[in-house]
Amino acid sequence: MFLLRSNTLLLLFSLCAAGQHFSDKILEATDLQLKGHPAEAERLMRALLTNATDGQAAVTLNELALLYTLQQRQDESERAYKQGLQRIAKSNDPDAHFVKTMLMLNLGGLYVEMGRLDEAEQLRIDALTGELKTPAETSQATGLRAAILCAQGKFDESARLYESMLPLLHSEPARWSKITLGSTLNNLGFIAARRKHPEQAIRWFTEAAENWRVIAGPKYASIVWTTANLGFAYNMARRYQDAAASYRDAMQLASEVFGPGNQLTLAIQLKLAEALKKCGQSEEARQLRKAAQDARRSLTTPAWQQTVDASTLLKR
């Protein structure tokens, strides 16, 4: 299964005096990312860095880091966050403290995914040394603490924190809240599945997937992960036809977003094969399994460990 960070887009809050051209272009880039065009979004963001002020560069680097994370380019994501922190430290923009706080919390979230929990917690503590003034800051800080607790296996505490975020996220109309809501719902489903409550997990994952489709469109990377998680929950509930349908949707989306030979796509394909076998469709299951295994053998990099297997947590 996949635990998602709640990534907040900074541009909606910061650098209000940075200029309309920059605001329009960074919004265009993030729209491209949400609609499933990461390469175009990356090119536009990199172009914006050429003549950016320190504050503008920090915001752009945050967006690049989020894009890299969604593409599983974690080393590049970490570098972008650190470069953003370096640039914002030199900025005199009145929103510089807010941007710095969000960069720190987003980097902390990345460290949770990488299993670097001590570093994540230290960044959270450092961010809290300043006053958190906006809903985005407080939600991100709460979400980071919840993710750390979940990674430590403290599911009850984690779930309570995630659930405490829902009233604000449901009521806040801004884009950042809807993105954070999708991640939070997914992560509540993750915890429900780990607690062996499949029907509850199904409800959370279904709501998360619907949320992603409304705010992002059909090719946003998080939809792939949440749809795969939904397949896992159906499988846990012994609803094998539903599991196969969700895995098939996730595999098709992953093929479009990441490519048919991507490790994530192949991992989901193997899960689809397992579900189809349980549905009595042994021949299609055999063909899908063989195709995925053959494709994996042709790859030079080891298989990605963050699959839809609930026996592992945050391993990539």
Give DSSP secondary structure letters for 140-167.
HHHHHHHHHHHHTT-HHHHHHHHHHHHH
Question: Do 2 and 131 fall within a single domain?
Answer: yes
- What was the pLDDT predicted at 1? 62
Percent of the residues in the chain that have a pLDDT greater than 90, as a whole number: 60
- What was the pLDDT predicted at 18? 53
- What was the pLDDT predicted at 129? 81
The CATH number of residue 114's host domain is 1.25.40.10
Question: Do 124 and 202 fall within a single domain?
Answer: no
Residue 115 domain boundaries: 1-137
**Distance, CA of 79 to CA of 209 (rounded, Å):** 30
Domain boundary among 98, 122, 137: 137
Asked whether 26 and 59 are in contact (CB, 8 A), the reply is yes
pLDDT tier at 249, thresholds 50, 70, 90: very high
Query: Which has the closest alpha carbon to 292: 274, 312, 315, 310?
Result: 274
* Whether pLDDT at 218 is above 90: no
Instruction: Note the pLDDT tens digit of each residue in 10-38.
Output: 444 444 445 677 888 888 888 888 877 88
Weakest mean pLDDT among 130-139, 268-277, 280-289: 130-139
pLDDT tier at 123, thresholds 50, 70, 90: very high
* Whether pLDDT at 162 is above 80: yes
- What was the pLDDT predicted at 270? 95
- What was the pLDDT predicted at 27? 84
pLDDT tier at 222, thresholds 50, 70, 90: confident
Asked whether 189 and 204 are in contact (CB, 8 A), the reply is yes
Question: Do 125 and 37 fall within a single domain?
Answer: yes
pLDDT tier at 304, thresholds 50, 70, 90: very low
Percent of the residues in the chain that have a pLDDT greater than 70, as a whole number: 89
Alpha carbon 50 to chain centroid, angstroms: 27
Domain boundary among 120, 137, 154: 137
Question: Do 3 and 127 fall within a single domain?
Answer: yes
Question: Do 11 and 130 fall within a single domain?
Answer: yes
**What's the N-to-C CA distance of the chain in angstroms?**
11
Q: Does a structural domain hold residue 211?
A: yes
* Whether pLDDT at 306 is above 80: no
Question: Do 110 and 225 fall within a single domain?
Answer: no
**Distance, CA of 191 to CA of 19 (rounded, Å):** 42
Q: Which of 130-134, 243-247, 258-262 has the highest mean pLDDT?
A: 243-247
pLDDT tier at 4, thresholds 50, 70, 90: low
pTM of the model: 0.84
Collapsing DSSP states into helix, strand and coil, what is residue 19? coil
pLDDT, mean over the chain: 85
Instruction: Note the pLDDT tens digit of each residue in 44-99.
Output: 999 999 989 999 999 999 999 998 988 888 999 999 999 999 999 999 888 888 89
**Residue of higher predicted confidence among 143 and 137:** 143
